[in-house]
Amino acid sequence: MGVEIRVEGLTKRFGRQVIWEDVSLTLPAGEISVLLGPSGTGKSVFLKTLIGLLRPERGHVWVGDQDVPRLSESKLYETRKLFGVLFQDGALFGSMNLFDNIAFPLREHTKKKEGEIKRIVMEKMELVGLVGAEGKLPGEISGGMRKRAGLARALVLDPEIILCDEPDSGLDPVRTSYLNQLIVDLNAQIGATILIVTHDINTARTVPDNIGLLFRRQLVMCGPREMLLSSEEPVVRQFLNARRVGPIGMSEEKDVSELEAEAKMGHDPGRLPPIPPQLLPSNGRVRPTQSPPGAWLRANGVTPPAGSFIDELGRNWLEEWPRYVATMSVGAGAPTRPGPVTQPGPGKTPPPPGGVRA
């Protein structure tokens, strides 16, 4: 059921270039987290540091009781088996068909027989909807299929932790929605701890349990989704609102005079929009690590933006949630596919938020 990653005081430099310093955060076991930040703030470097492909100058990356930067090569090799990584371009071998690409970690890291390898590969290909494409080369399939093949390959060793570096880059919005649903379903099914690096604001708003934001070599904020989506912090508001006004400039950060000029003009990064309901697995069941809507806001006395937690059918999930969970927990009527786009009658289980979109 997933492994916690605890990052403490992590600093990474390349020569004199400080990428980020003193970064501390926890990726709770079995939860989905998203890491945001302007281009070049070191998100990919962060992922690579978590799996020990890059060594930090200072700090710790605890995976269970193992501190990744301090592991010997052999221990690191063992610890990496806990990870499944989806690199930006899928990182498939161009000369191998999809079957062999996905089978690669099994042939490399296990002594499994070919029959067993075939069973596992086909199971993962089915999970990501690629059955029938086993014989295709990466160059013969679309970008979205390559992402899904990369995800299948990341899954073959049954990882406890899944790292996804911009899984949505180059995908159209509909394919991104499918991929998001796939990630949520995977988390529900295997309980892995998941970290997604993305620039897609809709993904950040609807998928994760937690969000972190890197800027100016610091982790500006990291915490539950509702904390970031209701934040007053200008950098967070500017980033989530995708606006030019605010501390983030074209080349990383604006200087003081630019910010003063913006303030004089009355410019502001803007208010954050209503918080959407969080995506549920497509079978409608609540993930074990998923918090009820509004839980963080209530616990911290924060009023969300008006219209929060209302889905595309106009249902308010703050009110809907207790009834929904009660219906699900007695196992009555749990849909195995996204529900129909209808208003549920009394006693019926409504389709989950986002489920009708996926």
Would you tell me which residues interact with ligand ATP (CB under 6 A)? 14, 19, 37, 39-45
Quote the CA–CA distance of 300 and 286 in Å, as a whole number: 23
Which residue number is nearest to ligand ATP in terms of Cβ? 39
Of the pair 40, 64, the CB lying nearest ligand ATP is at 40
What does the alpha-carbon distance between residue 275 and residue 48 come to, in Å, rounded to a whole number? Answer: 31
- Choice between 36 and 229, CB closer to ligand ATP: 36
CB nearer to ligand ATP: give 45 or 163.
45
- Count of CB atoms situated within 10 Å of the CB of 184: 25
Burial class (CB in 10 A: 0-12, 13-18, 19+), 187: buried
CB of 281 closer than 8 Å to CB of 287: yes
Whether the Cβ atoms of residue 130 and residue 152 lie closer than 8 Å to each other: yes
Q: How far is the CB of 41 from ligand ATP (least distance, A)?
A: 4
Residue 257 CB, nearest approach to ligand ATP (Å)? 25
CB of residue 290 vs ligand ATP: minimum separation in angstroms?
Answer: 27
Alpha-carbon span 206 to 280, nearest angstrom: 9
- Residue with smaller CB distance to ligand ATP, 38 or 353: 38
Least distance (Å) between residue 54 CB and ligand ATP:
7
Residue whose CB is less far from ligand ATP, 44 or 289:
44
CB of 20 vs ligand ATP, minimal distance in Å: 9
Q: Which two tokens stand for residue 32?
A: 């989905």
Rounded CA-CA distance 202/277 in Å is: 11
Quote the tokens at residue 182: 């796939």
